[in-house]
């Protein structure tokens, strides 16, 4: 039987380290790797020391009863401290991993006792389990989970009760009045919770992904409204220009008559001044056209005008051919998202510091760069994407990322010397 103190301490350390690894698979950290390793080293010393003390005072049963307080809660706190997640998101993630680890370890321990396997076999079984789970979570669950909590950053508070309640139930039933290994009825109560647990988690994630689809549909609808609004604004501008040209054509006959009369009188200076004034009025009504592609031109006009109305200086260099290798409307949405983010970032700055630089080329491939001064600190996830700090933020970045995945484009976000840059190459 596994009564050796050193084995029990090593086993507790292994379980703890692997459970923290499961937590890390689904977490975005804000600290560098060396700092995370230092935190893990200090925490490992605490795990070994606290386990030795509990085993010395009350044996394995006391460790089973108190490990959640001495090991799990400190791990949850330290991981949250090093992560970018909100408290509710962190508790849901970490408690779910701890819950899965508790169930797996108890089942492996039960099999080891039932078949009278060696301590080495117990360690090997746990190693296989944790290695498999960590790989599967990293390979298949990490990306959708991180995407889910970015799109739905709030309303996780109630969900945290699910893993917390199940953890409390399992620990209590497994260790009171004695160990579940010595009482068949306790084992029945422990594993009977697995079926409702699975049902509850399936229902929760179906609900979450339903909310995710609703959020993405709302985003698509908002982007479509923005595109339609930009086109309407562009058409209105065109109509205004056409009306101005019609008026000028009407006035042109009178202007020629006036200039002719001044020349006949020999007053050439007055005639030249009159023609210069007419030329200036004509230039003031000259339409600005950024490119020949109508949807992209509408987005440029709409957002550059909005920026200038907000006191933001715009420095734009646009050179796009008449055709693109991607659908113009999709690229226009990417451009609108990036310009809107740049405008919002500028609004936090004094008027004399507001600026947007936009450079876009269409040959040999589409190359876009948008940069702006940025007063706030920006966090990036493991994929290099900016992390939205408030609810509803970050949807535009996800739309840009989806465009890149669909069309094989490469995008890059960075913040250097107080200037935020977005680059896209297609």
**Residue 335 burial by CB count (10 A; 0-12/13-18/19+): exposed, middle or buried?**
buried
pLDDT per residue as tens digits for the range 15-70: 999 999 999 999 988 888 899 999 999 999 999 999 999 998 988 889 889 999 99
> Which of 47-61, 283-297, 329-343, 401-415 shows the lowest per-residue confidence on average (mean pLDDT)?
283-297
**CATH node for 290-426:** 3.30.565.10
Picking from 398, 425, 397, 395, the residue whose alpha carbon sits closest to that of residue 411 is 425
Contact between 333 and 229 under an 8 Å Cβ cutoff? The reply is no
In sequence order, what are the beta bridge partners of 316?
358
Confidence at 5, pLDDT banded by 50, 70, 90: confident
Q: Which residue has the tokens 């630089």?
A: 357
334 alpha-carbon distance from chain centroid:
16
CA dist 390 and 380 (Å) reads: 14
Q: Which residues contact 62 (CB under 8 A, 6 or more apart)?
A: 54, 55
Confidence at 114, pLDDT banded by 50, 70, 90: confident
pLDDT at position 271 is 66
Picking from 152, 270, 266, 299, the residue whose alpha carbon sits closest to that of residue 213 is 152
CA-to-CA separations, 84 to 31, 188, 389, in angstroms, rounded: 9, 39, 9
Mean pLDDT score, 70-86: 90
The maximal CA–CA distance of the chain, rounded, in angstroms, is 122
Q: Where are the domains of the chain?
A: 5-192, 216-287, 290-426
Mean pLDDT score, 251-277: 71
Q: Which residues contact 315 (CB under 8 A, 6 or more apart)?
A: 355, 356, 357, 358
Which of residues 263 and 213 earns the better pLDDT score?
213
Q: Which residue has the tokens 């498999």?
A: 132
Instruction: Tell me the torsion sign for CA atoms 257, 258, 259, 261.
Output: positive
Give the pairing type, strands 313-319 and 419-425.
unpaired
Query: Tokens standing for 369?
Result: 């760069």
pLDDT at position 1 is 38
């Amino acid at each position: 039987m596994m009564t050796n103190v050193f084995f029990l301490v090593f086993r507790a350390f292994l379980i703890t380290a692997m459970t923290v690894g499961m937590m890390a698979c689904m977490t975005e950290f804000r600290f560098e790797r060396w700092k995370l390793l230092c935190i893990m080293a200090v925490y490992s010393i605490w795990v070994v020391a606290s386990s030795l003390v509990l085993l010395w005072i009350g044996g394995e049963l006391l460790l089973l009863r108190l490990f959640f307080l001495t090991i799990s809660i400190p791990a949850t706190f330290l991981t949250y401290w090093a992560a970018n997640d909100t408290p509710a998101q962190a508790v849901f993630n970490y408690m779910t991993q701890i819950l899965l680890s508790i169930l797996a370890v108890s089942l492996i321990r039960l099999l080891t006792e039932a078949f009278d396997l060696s301590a080495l076999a117990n360690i090997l079984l746990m190693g296989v389990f944790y290695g498999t789970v960590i790989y599967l979570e990293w390979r298949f669950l990490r990306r959708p989970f991180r995407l889910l909590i970015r799109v739905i950053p709030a309303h996780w508070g109630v969900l945290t009760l699910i893993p917390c309640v199940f953890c409390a139930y399992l620990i209590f039933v497994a260790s009171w009045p004695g160990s579940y290994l010595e009482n068949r009825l306790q084992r029945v109560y422990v594993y009977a919770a697995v079926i409702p647990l699975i049902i509850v988690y399936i229902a929760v994630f179906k609900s979450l992904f339903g909310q995710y689809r609703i959020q993405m549909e709302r985003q698509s609808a908002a982007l479509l409204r923005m595109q339609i609004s930009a086109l309407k604004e562009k058409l209105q501008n065109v109509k205004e220009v056409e009306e101005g040209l019609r008026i000028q054509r009407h006035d042109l006959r009178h202007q020629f008559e006036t200039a002719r009369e001044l020349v006949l009188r020999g007053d050439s200076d007055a005639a030249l001044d009159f023609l210069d004034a007419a030329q200036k009025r004509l230039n003031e009504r000259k339409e600005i056209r950024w490119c020949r592609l109508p949807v992209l031109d509408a987005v440029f006009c709409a957002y550059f005008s909005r920026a200038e109305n907000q006191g933001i200086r715009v420095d734009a260099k646009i050179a796009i051919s008449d055709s693109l290798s991607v659908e113009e409307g999709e690229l226009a949405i990417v451009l609108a998202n990036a310009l809107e983010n740049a405008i919002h970032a500028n609004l936090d700055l004094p008027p004399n510091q507001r600026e947007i630089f936009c450079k876009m080329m269409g040959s040999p491939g589409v190359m876009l760069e948008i940069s702006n001064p940025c007063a706030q600190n920006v966090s990036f996830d493991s994929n290099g994407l900016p992390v939205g700090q408030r609810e509803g933020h970050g949807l535009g970045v996800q739309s840009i990322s989806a465009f890149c995945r669909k069309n094989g484009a490469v995008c890059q976000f960075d913040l250097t010397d107080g200037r935020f840059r977005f680059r896209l190459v297609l």
